Amino acid sequence: MAEKKILVTGGAGYIGAHTVLALIKEGYQPVILDNFSRSDESLLKGLTKLIGRAPLLIKGDCTDTSVLRKIFEVHGQISGVMHFAALKSVGESVQIPLAYHQNNIQSLMSVLQVMKEYSVRDLIFSSSCTVYGEPDFIPVTESATFKRAESPYGATKQICERILEDVYKTGFRFLSLRYFNPIGAHPSALIGELPIGVPNNLVPFITQTAIGKRKQLVVFGNDYNTPDGSCIRDYIHVVDIAEAHVKALAHLHMTQSQTYLDAFNLGTGIGVSVLGLVKKFIEVTGVSLNYALGPRRHGDVEKTFADPTKANKLLGWKATRTIDQALLDAWGWEKALAAGHKS
């Protein structure tokens, strides 16, 4: 039986690369499309070592329908799409909102347009817990009302999910996976989170500070209505996130209906504060960390964590890796990067 080809937009990025590895392990043939605007080609070197061959890669922008058409023509028989490609920083989206709306929405529109042209109907959409805004109830279930997004990034994910809601009725099958806070790296330390420039996410900023690349970590806000005053999040190992995508794809392929739409929270169901995560890193690694408390950052939600019951039941997926393991894997990745740069 031939391997099913899956187009993975943004497949050279952090979550995309881990998912490409998970897909290959399950017998799929990923076709990566990435423009490397927010990713580094060094992740492909790690992927190559892990899978024993270079992954199938096309350099290009998924807002460009001509690039997408060429992939569908050349590679043929694409059985589904995983759409990761997007700008993804909450903080940055506040600074350059137009770029976020233009890129994130147009990329999805282009992918859907070309999927329709080539009669490809299955898509897994990389969504986010930011679609819920500041939730009324914790833990958050998939039925929670979308409140006004706290950031332009969150707004683009809300708009994209609305587009999927409108479009699926015309012959598509869509699943939105709403990630909470992916952290960690592959335990081999061959692939991990590699931000371009100053990190926008917490854990790479922690590890870069611990290794000496950054002078100090600033915790944004210490006056929230939480036990220690810092924001509360649901931190989930990136390998768990990657495995959920493969489960979601299998679920979609097994669906008998010609049209289908659903959404799943991907989280652990455990809320951890930003300060708590910082202290946990120090505890599990034994490494000191220079950090300070700072003012709130615009766009941040006070507290949110998932109710992952639906994904547990319908996808047969559950987050199995601990925060301790995620932090140790992230630290292993950071040390491997430092060793590579020195060699």
Contact assessment for residue 184 and residue 321, using Cβ atoms and an 8 Å cutoff: yes
Residue 335, CA distances (Å) to 160, 188, 209, 302, 309 in order: 37, 12, 12, 32, 35
CA neighbours closer than 13 Å in the CB half-sphere of residue 231: 22
Rounded to 10 degrees, the C-alpha dihedral 234/254/33/133 comes to -30
Catalytic sites, residue numbers:
153
**Angle at Cα 46 formed by Cα 45 and Cα 51, nearest 5°?**
100
Using DSSP, state whether 57 is helix, strand or coil.
Answer: strand
Look up residue 307 and give its DSSP letter. Answer: -
Q: Could you say which DSSP state residue 188 is in?
A: T
Structure tokens that stand for 251 in this block = 């679920």
Distance separating alpha carbons of residues 259 and 247, to the nearest angstrom: 19
How many CB atoms sit inside 10 A of residue 14's CB? 26
Element at 18 (helix H, strand E): helix 14-25
Question: 309 is written with which tokens?
Answer: 């019951």
CA 305 – CA 141 distance, rounded (Å):
9
Q: Which residues contact 263 (CB under 8 A, 6 or more apart)?
A: 127, 142, 161, 175, 176, 177, 178
Residue 174 dihedral angles phi and psi, to the nearest 5°: -125, 145
